Amino acid sequence: MAGAKNALTTADLIIVGLEADSKESATRMLAERMVATGRVTDIEGYLEDVRLREAQMDTGLPGGIGIPHARSAHVTRPTVAIGTSVRGVDFGAHDGPAHLIFLIGAPDGSDDAHLHILAALARKLVHEDFRQSLRDAADAHQIAAIISKEVKP
């Protein structure tokens, strides 16, 4: 299906019950999904771009959200990999760990693509009912469906 191929996220890019001790390990697990689906060509290069972006400012947001992101020459198309974590992962938010983690990647030449994705996602994430729907989702397919329906960059 062409729509799924071009979707921001698919079930293959989602980890329900992500178990990670650090933002680096959570980011790596999600980036591995991006590589496996052909959306990232070089995991180390992409993770370095994410680390450089994270060094500028923490990407933890209030409400249990982590949004590591980067433009990168190693990203083939705008993508969001998602992890849900019961224990949570520290992304530097003042109110505690992230239970919903969104790893956003955009191709290097698409200066505003990742900003549009970030903005569209942020507009939805301010709503507790949207965050709760993602936390309550039964599986990766349900999360992908929610994101595809609700997040329009």
E-strand ranges in the chain read: 14-16, 60-61, 65-66, 69-72, 79-89, 98-107
Positions annotated as catalytic residues are 69
Tell me how many helices (H) and strands (E) the chain has. 6, 6
Per-residue DSSP letter, 149: H
For residues 1 and 124, give the distance between their C-alpha atoms in angstroms, rounded to a whole number: 26
Q: Which residue has the tokens 């936390």?
A: 135
Ramachandran angles phi, psi of 12, nearest 5°: -65, -20
SS3 58: coil
Q: Max Cα separation, the chain?
A: 41
